[in-house]
């Protein structure tokens, strides 16, 4: 009876703090003992995965629904504005129709101007909030009616002007080389009228690619609208190199791989798995020559003139022997404020171990991509090879320039050294 009662009471307990045998003995001894049961409530955390997921889904749905409503309202407002403009720009009355069709054309032009003015009267943004990184705009091409393309069509058949444009580029390059003291030292006196040239002209199919940054803009009406802001291509390239440093990552990988391979070769040689690395050929050739004989030690100068050659040299003192046998003192040089004040010996910066980063720098310089600026809109490319001849040597440059026909001059110019040949070439192996 007591066991059943105890079992019934224990079935509601959540914690087993007292052993079962103790409870049974106590119940058998005192049948009226009461067991207190304490109810416990487990409190769940406020932020749970399911709650966060439901909140995110609800917020996204609400945002999409509000955006859809805003688009409908904007479409209705645009339709109302178009209707108002149509009512504002009316056709002439029946009695004025005899004026001719010229009035109708004027009315149509006025209506188009009113629409353009309304489009330009959009509220200006107060604050721009970017929502992402810059991105390129879709590529566009020139149309046959574009003024840039019309200028290209008018310029291409004019052979005299094209030859004059090529001559301007050749004269500009040779003049810049003649003013450079480094090239003048290698080439000598430069003749601007001699040298071979090969230049071609290429008209682009479209304007340069533009870049933009998406975001939201706060207007004067305190409303947000989705818009974009133009971004310079140099800023876009710098940001791309900063966020995706491919050149630095590849250089670090190659340098780390080289160091690991070198350490692994040393470890295998230390364990005896593989013979030690052979010295390079230059070092093996140097070891074949006999070493020079050691020079005799210099005798100390005599202290007195009366010392004869027959007298034996004085025996070294014990103090000098003790100094020679004693290890070098580890006392830091004088003038170390840390040692003088606290008794701490700091390491010498000049003797600190350094890491060889020449291999890393070489690959970083090789894989680094310079910024490439596109030619402006309305310009065409003039590129080719230009030879510059002096009295000591000649040089060939790979040139690319952008010519603007509207202003009649070059707006961009890049030149890379292709070859440099001296007229007098001496043998590097010796006479």
Q: Is the pLDDT of residue 154 over 50?
A: yes
Q: Which two tokens stand for residue 73?
A: 């309202």
Judged against a pLDDT cut of 90, whether residue 104 lies above it is answered with no
Residue-level pLDDT at 15: 52
Q: What is the pLDDT of residues 266-322, one digit of tens each?
A: 888 888 887 555 555 555 555 555 555 555 444 444 443 333 444 444 444 444 444
CA dihedral 66, 67, 70, 75 (to 10 degrees): -140
What average pLDDT score do residues 136-156 get? 91
pLDDT band at 216; cut points 50, 70, 90:
confident
- pLDDT reading at 110 higher than 80: no
User: pLDDT at position 287, please?
Assistant: 54
Provide the pLDDT for residue 114.
43
Q: Report the pLDDT value the prediction gives residue 226, as an integer from 0 to 100.
A: 86
- Flag the least confident range among 272-286, 362-376, 401-415: 272-286
Q: Residue 142's pLDDT is what?
A: 92
Please give the residue that has the higher pLDDT: either 155 or 39: 155
Chain-centroid distance, C-alpha 317: 69
Whole-number pLDDT of residue 401: 94
Structure tokens at 301: 């100068």
Q: Is pLDDT of 108 > 60?
A: no
Average pLDDT, the chain: 73
Q: Which candidate, 373, 370, 332, places its Cα nearest to that of 349?
A: 332
Q: In this model, does residue 405 exceed pLDDT 70?
A: yes
Run of H or E residues at 200:
strand 197-202
Percent of the chain scored above 70 by pLDDT? Answer: 60
| DSSP-assigned letter for residue 289 | S
Q: pLDDT (tens digit, 9 = 90+) per residue, 23-57?
A: 667 766 666 556 665 777 777 788 888 888 889 99
Secondary structure, 3-state, 377-418? CCCEEEEEEEEEEECCEEEEEEEEEEEECCCCEEEEEEEEEE
Q: Which one is predicted more confidently, 239 or 109?
A: 239
Predicted confidence at residue 298, as pLDDT, reads 46
User: Residue 332 forms beta bridges with which residues?
Assistant: none
More confident residue, 98 or 240: 240
Mean pLDDT for the stretch of residues 115-143: 74
Please name the helix (run of DSSP H) or strand (run of DSSP E) that holds residue 176, with its range, or none.
helix 159-179
**Confidence tier at 203 by pLDDT (50, 70, 90):** very high
User: Quick one: which of 183, 210, 91 has its CA closest to 389?
Assistant: 183
| Residue predicted with more confidence, 224 or 300 | 224
pLDDT at 160 over 60: yes
Tell me the pLDDT band of 163, cut-offs 50, 70 and 90.
very high
The pLDDT of residue 229 is 87
pLDDT in tens, 391-400: 889 999 999 9
Task: Identify the residue with better confidence: 97 or 356.
Answer: 356
- Give the residue-averaged pLDDT of 192-207: 91
Query: What letters, b where the CB count within 10 A reaches 16 and e where it falls short, cover 335-371?
Result: eeeeeeeeeeeeeeeeeeeeeeeeebeebbeeeeeee
Mean pLDDT of 239-244: 86
What pLDDT digit, counting tens, does each position of 70-96 carry? 665 556 666 666 666 655 544 444 444
Token digits for 16?
Answer: 């087993």
* HSE-up of residue 398 (Cα within 13 Å, Cβ side): 4
Distance CA 331, CA 65 (A): 79
Per-residue pLDDT, 426: 82
CA distance 410 to 192: 19
Q: Judge whether residue 387 has pLDDT over 90.
A: yes
Instruction: At 2, list the tokens.
Output: 């007591």
Q: How far apart are CA 27 and CA 34, in angstroms?
A: 9
Is the pLDDT reported for residue 107 higher than 50?
no
For residues 416-426, give the mean pLDDT.
Answer: 88
Q: Please, which pLDDT band fits residue 238 given cuts at 50, 70 and 90? A: confident
Taking 60 as the threshold, does the pLDDT of residue 431 lie above it? yes
């Amino acid at each position: 009876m007591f066991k059943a009662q105890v079992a019934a009471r224990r079935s509601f307990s959540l914690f087993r703090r007292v052993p079962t045998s103790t409870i049974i003995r106590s119940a058998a001894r005192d049948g009226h003992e009461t067991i207190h049961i304490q109810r416990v409530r487990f409190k769940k955390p406020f932020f749970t995965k399911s709650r966060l997921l439901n909140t995110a889904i609800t917020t996204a749905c609400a945002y999409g629904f509000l955006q859809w409503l805003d688009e409908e309202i904007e479409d209705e407002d645009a339709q109302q504005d178009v209707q108002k403009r149509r009512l504002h720009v009316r056709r002439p009355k029946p009695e004025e129709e005899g004026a001719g069709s010229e009035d109708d054309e004027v009315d149509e032009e006025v209506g188009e101007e009113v629409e353009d003015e309304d489009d330009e009267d959009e509220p200006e943004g107060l604050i721009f909030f970017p929502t992402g990184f810059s991105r390129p705009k879709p590529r566009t091409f020139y149309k046959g009616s574009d003024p840039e393309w019309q200028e290209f069509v008018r310029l291409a058949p004019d052979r005299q002007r094209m030859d004059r444009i090529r001559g301007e580029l050749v004269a500009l390059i040779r003049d810049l080389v003649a003013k450079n003291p480094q090239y003048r030292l290698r080439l000598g006196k430069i003749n601007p009228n001699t040298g071979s040239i090969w230049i071609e002209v290429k008209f682009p199919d479209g304007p340069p690619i533009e870049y933009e940054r998406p975001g939201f803009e706060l207007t004067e009406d305190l409303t947000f609208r989705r818009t974009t802001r133009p971004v310079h291509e140099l800023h876009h390239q710098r940001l791309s190199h900063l966020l995706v440093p491919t050149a630095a990552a590849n250089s670090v990988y190659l340098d780390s791989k080289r160091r690991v391979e070198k350490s692994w070769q040393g470890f295998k040689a230390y364990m005896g798995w593989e013979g030690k690395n052979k010295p390079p050929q230059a070092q093996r050739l140097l070891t074949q020559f006999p070493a020079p004989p050691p020079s005799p030690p210099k005798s100390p100068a005599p202290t007195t003139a009366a010392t004869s050659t027959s007298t034996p040299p004085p025996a070294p003192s014990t103090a000098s022997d003790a100094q020679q046998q004693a290890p070098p003192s580890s006392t830091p040089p004088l003038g170390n404020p840390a040692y003088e004040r606290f008794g701490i010996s700091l390491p010498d910066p000049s003797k600190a171990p350094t890491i060889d980063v020449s291999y890393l720098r070489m690959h970083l310089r090789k894989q680094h991509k310079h910024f490439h600026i596109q030619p402006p809109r309305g310009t065409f490319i003039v590129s080719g090879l230009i030879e510059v001849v002096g009295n000591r040597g000649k040089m060939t440059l790979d040139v690319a320039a952008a010519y603007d026909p509207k202003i009649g001059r070059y707006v961009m110019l890049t030149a890379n050294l292709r070859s440099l040949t001296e007229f007098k070439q001496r043998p590097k192996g010796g006479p």
